[in-house]
Amino acid sequence: MVSTHPVGLQNSGYQYLPKDDQKTLSPNQELLPLTAQVNSHDCLEIGGCDVTSLVKEFGSPLYILDEVTLRTACRQYRDAFKRYYPGESLVLYASKAWSCLAVCAIAGSEGLGIDVVSGGELYTALEAGISADKIYFHGNNKSVAELQMAMKSGCTLVVDNWLELETLADLATATAPVRIMLRLTPGIECHTHEYIRTGHLDSKFGFDPNALDQVFEFVSKHPSLNCIGLHAHIGSQIFEQQPHKDLAGVLVDCLSRAEGYNLSIQELNVGGGLGIRYTEGDDPPSIDTWVKGVCESLVAACEAEQLPLPRLLSEPGRSLVGSACITAYTLGSRKEIPGIRTYLAVDGGMSDNPRPITYQSVYRCVVANHMSAPLTEKVTVAGKHCESGDILIKDVMLPQTESGDIFVVMGTGAYNYSMASNYNRLPRPAAVLVNQGDSFLILQRETYQDLLRQDRLPEKLQTGDSKK
């Protein structure tokens, strides 16, 4: 193995570190998975597997998930809460970041619970072997069928609004009460994309804090509603620490108010939202630092109100799985516009990573089979979809490339597969889990037959009868 600093990554801030040092790194602060290194063929390896070999075996585009990085992030969250919080705590994986059997099962095996936001995510978590008492069901418009499914499973429902609260009061019975948390909008602003800010007052999520007394009174009159906790979430991809520290005070104040209605609130959920390093200019706090700030703030707020410490929950998603995955593409066509731009096209794009066109998200990249080659040309990497805005990375320095080279985008574990689509009827990519030189297919590549699986052709069209 080559353990020197790869030339192709010097401008992206990546540096190879021996395996013994991986446990000291915070995965959310790394551009590449913790096991990333360059082999003697000048090719990128993840989890001891040559990325170019993985593409030959499984095709491209290909999501490559590093098990070591994912488990390290899970353990850092879990252990930091035990270290800094004197009371009981539980870390929940926000599975909307990437909901599949393997990711949920890995999180569960590390002692984490699962945060779900739909019947499909709940079904996935249960099928992955997660105990229902460690599953929390969010969402601002759960259907009656989803509510019934959740109640049958025994998971905790995070109630978001009056309709849901009243519906549950009708569905539940005093002999079989439903376990709920109440989600509130804390009114805390943070610097992130407007689409992923959820804590400010102008949000579709949660009860207005001014309505909490009415909510508490309603719950107190319905013994079928077993209210065990309060929840708030302020957003996603956040680097600031102060908003989460402020959140502790807001939640404890609401907890104190709930006591006046004889509600036995045992849990406070501070949400998630810690950001990851997508580019060399990103500087998120480490997992340990973030957890320490949250715990110390909550302890201080409880002491100020002279309240016993509640069970503390948090819901990281992106910072658990985002940096653990890369996406490998095969480079195809090239278009040079003299004096303007050079386009390189890959065999995927907005259908496997919609974040650039949706959120104007920025990523970093390498050419996996030319890791030490000098960066000699500025290019724009485009997807293959029939959409002018299908641009993965704009104006990036790369080595000289040719068709067939393997292009890798970093930090694609969060909201890439989970937001993937079949736009232009492209089958969704496969995903492999890598660890110590072994690779395991965790998501099969879709086929054209899969695309037609739900299609139905009217009989008159099958027979050629065009009469109306």
Residues noted as catalytic: 386
Whole-angstrom distance, CA of residue 449 vs CA of residue 213: 54
The beta strands (E) that lie in 288-422 are given as 311-314, 325-337, 341-346, 365-367, 377-382, 391-398, 406-409
Nearest-10 Cα torsion for 222, 224, 227, 228: 150
Cα(350)–Cα(409) distance, rounded to whole angstroms?
13
Cβ-contact 65, 432 below 8 angstroms: yes
By the 8 A CB rule, do 408 and 325 touch?
A: no
Distance CA 228, CA 231 (A): 10
Strand order in the sheet with 37-38: 37-38, 44-46, 49-50
Q: What are phi and psi of 403, to 5 degrees?
A: -55, 135
DSSP 8-state secondary structure symbol assigned to residue 184: B
Q: Which residue has the tokens 């418009």?
A: 141
SS3 of the chain: helix, strand, coil, percent, to 5 = 35, 25, 45
Geometric angle at alpha carbon 387, from 383 and 391, rounded to 5°: 40
Q: For Cα atoms 311, 315, 318, give the angle at the middle one, nearest 5 degrees.
A: 160
Contact 61, 347 (CB under 8 A): yes
Distance CA 185, CA 132 (A): 26
CA quadruple 457, 460, 466, 468: dihedral sign: negative
Q: Residue 79: what residue type?
A: D
ω before 61 within 30° of 0 (cis)?
yes
